[in-house]
């Protein structure tokens, strides 16, 4: 991205730890590279970008006199460290695995604590920065209501946070699409101020258009990249393969592997099982992604969407099994439970774009959604419903047959009803 990231000896000391260097082995977008081949950038470079944004945010907020009482030198340094380490607890393919909400799944927050308390990283934090590992953890996953910590969390994880500011731009660049770069990052940063309560971010009126464009950039990146139907096909195949194999592994140890080690372990474990063709289709020498044979949005197919979206992954797997049984009975031929896969929005929702605009002449704060039809339409609770859809994918050998002869609308509603009864 042609940016020079300022380094100091103690920044380098953090970056050179084994825990941070591990992020070189974890790609930012994981399975999106099966569709966008340039999207192989890593969480390592993303973390450096987020740190760079933290510097720029801190520099801008220092101009707000109210900020001086909250962001003293220690708090500013805590922000920089937390920005560098915000993804320290992630493992390969973290997001699709977390979306399954498996009962024995360790949360990545637990992993963050584990790495932060490692002897090397904790030593650098204490000796070079005068920061305790638990202080960083409090910024990353804490619940403290102290204004300073709420502000730091707002900067790191909020509507206009330093994380989104980097990944929209970086993901767009590497995916080879323009959508995530079509907003004025500099203008938006220059408009940052504290909110009325003094514990979070707001923007001045001059940043309104830039904020609207950021909202739209995020919407289009979800629609065209993160939830592109072929990306979701690969994600769904991986998720079902992992679900079928995860009991073969001690997950806390398994998640310490690099991405290439993770793929190799899964492919080896899948040999001779129903999961083999799923994982070989994604990671094998010949890409063989499942084909889309049904797609249902909230607005076009509300009945299907309401029955299927935000259901536990175990229920989706059971629904797939019932669909296979129903298809086998209809066509008088065996359908495997992995012939037809069901993809749906997970239970959790994306962060809503809820930020205030400060009008200096009137000395008043107004929610962006109240003065922007773009934000009102795309960035509140409807965001997920617009960009995330229920989809049915089928093995490529079966896709033409099922697309032509099966209307999954009724099949999904009935199968999900059966799945609920047998749960």
Structural contact between residues 152 and 82, judged by C-beta atoms closer than 8 angstroms:
yes
Q: Which tops the pLDDT comparison, 112 or 177?
A: 177
Helix, strand, or coil here: 386? helix
The two tokens of residue 287 are 């890409």
Q: What is the pTM of this model?
A: 0.94
How would you list the strands of the sheet with 340-343, edge to edge? Answer: 291-296, 390-394, 340-343
pLDDT tier, 2 (very low <50, low <70, confident <90, very high otherwise)? low
pLDDT at 5: 85
The model's pLDDT over 186-223, given as tens digits with 9 standing for 90+, comes to 999 999 999 999 999 999 999 999 999 998 899 999 99
- The residue written with tokens 């900067």 in the block is 155
Of residues 276, 209, 271, the one with CA closest to residue 240: 276
Q: How far is 192 from 60, CA to CA, in rounded Å?
A: 7
Report residue 381's pLDDT band, with 50, 70 and 90 as the boundaries: low
Kindly report the backbone phi and psi dihedral angles of residue 237, in degrees, each rounded to the nearest multiple of 5, phi listed first.
Answer: -60, -45
Q: 64 vs 28, which has greater pLDDT?
A: 28
366: helix, strand or coil: strand
Q: Indicate where the chain has its CATH 1.10.3210.10 domain(s).
A: 9-227+359-386
Task: Give the number of other Cβ atoms within 10 Å of residue 153's Cβ.
Answer: 21
Kindly tell me if the per-residue pLDDT of 247 is higher than 70.
yes
Res 379: pLDDT: 58
Please name the CATH architecture into which domain 9-227+359-386 falls. Answer: Orthogonal Bundle (1.10)
pLDDT band at 348 (very low <50, low <70, confident <90, very high): confident
Higher pLDDT, 129 or 420: 129
174 Rama sector, left if φ>0, alpha if ψ -120 to 50, beta otherwise: alpha
pLDDT at position 127 over 90: yes
| Kind of pairing between the strands at 291-296 and 364-367 | unpaired
Alpha-carbon distance of 133 to 193, in angstroms, equals 28
What is the tens place of the pLDDT at every residue in 68-107? Answer: 888 999 999 999 999 999 999 999 999 999 999 888 787 7
* Residue 381, strand partner residues: none
Strand order in the sheet with 192-194: 192-194, 201-204, 356-359, 364-367
Cα(414)–Cα(316) distance, rounded to whole angstroms? 13
Q: Is the predicted pLDDT of residue 48 greater than 80, yes or no?
A: yes
SS (H, E, C) 308-333: HCCCCHHHHHHHHHHHHHHHHHHHCC
Chain-centre distance of CA 144, in angstroms? Answer: 24
The per-residue pLDDT for 7 is 92
CA angle at residue 132 from 129 to 137, to 5 degrees? Answer: 115
If DSSP codes are grouped into helix, strand and coil, which group holds residue 68? Answer: coil
pLDDT recorded at residue 70: 87
3-state DSSP assignment of residue 33: helix
Are the beta carbons of 222 and 205 closer than 8 angstroms?
no
Q: What is the mean pLDDT of residues 252-276?
A: 96
Residue 54 near residue 155 (C-beta atoms within 8 A) = yes
Indicate whether 26 pLDDT > 80: yes
Which phi and psi (to 5°) does residue 39 adopt?
Answer: -85, 60
Share of the chain above pLDDT 70, in %: 97
pLDDT at 243 exceeding the cut of 70: yes
């Amino acid at each position: 991205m042609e940016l020079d990231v300022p380094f100091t000896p103690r920044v380098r000391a953090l970056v050179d730890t084994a825990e941070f260097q591990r992020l070189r082995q974890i790609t930012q977008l994981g399975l999106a590279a099966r569709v966008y081949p340039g999207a192989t950038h890593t969480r390592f470079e993303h973390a450096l970008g987020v740190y760079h944004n933290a510097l720029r945010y801190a520099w801008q907020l220092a101009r707000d006199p109210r900020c001086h009482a909250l962001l003293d030198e220690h708090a500013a340094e805590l922000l920089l460290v937390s920005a560098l380490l915000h993804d320290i607890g992630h493992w390969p393919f973290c997001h699709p695995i977390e979306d399954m909400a498996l009962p024995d799944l360790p949360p990545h927050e637990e992993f963050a604590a584990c790495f932060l308390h490692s002897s090397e990283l904790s030593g650098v934090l204490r000796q070079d920065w005068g920061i305790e590992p638990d202080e960083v953890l409090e910024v990353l996953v804490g619940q403290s209501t102290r204004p300073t910590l709420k502000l730091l969390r707002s900067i790191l994880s909020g509507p206009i946070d330093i994380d989104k500011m980097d990944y929209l731009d970086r993901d767009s660049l590497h995916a080879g699409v323009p959508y995530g770069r079509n907003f004025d990052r500099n203008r938006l940063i220059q408009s940052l101020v504290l909110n009325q309560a003094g514990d979070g971010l707001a923007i001045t009126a001059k940043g309104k258009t830039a904020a609207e464009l950021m909202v739209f950039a995020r919407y289009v990146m979800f629609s065209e990249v993160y939830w592109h139907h072929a990306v979701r096909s690969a994600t769904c195949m991986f998720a079902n393969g992992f679900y079928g194999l995860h009991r073969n592994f001690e997950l806390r140890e398994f998640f310490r592997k690099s991405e290439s080690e993770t793929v190799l372990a899964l492919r080896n474990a899948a040999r001779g099982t129903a999961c083999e063709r799923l994982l070989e289709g994604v990671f094998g020498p010949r890409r063989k992604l499942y084909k889309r044979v049904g797609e249902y949005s909230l607005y076009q197919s509300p009945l299907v969407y309401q029955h299927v979206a935000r259901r536990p992954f175990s229920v989706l797997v059971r629904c797939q099994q019932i669909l296979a049984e129903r298809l086998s009975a209809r066509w008088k031929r065996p359908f495997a439970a992995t012939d037809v896969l069901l993809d749906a929005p997970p239970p959790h929702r994306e962060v809503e774009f809820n930020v205030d605009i400060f009008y200096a002449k009137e000395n008043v704060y107004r929610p962006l959604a109240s003065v922007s039809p773009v934000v009102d339409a795309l960035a509140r609770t409807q965001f997920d419903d617009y960009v995330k859809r229920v989809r049915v994918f089928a093995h490529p050998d079966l896709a033409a047959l099922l697309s032509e002869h099966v209307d999954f609308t009724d099949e999904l509603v009935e199968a999900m009803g059966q799945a609920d009864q047998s749960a």
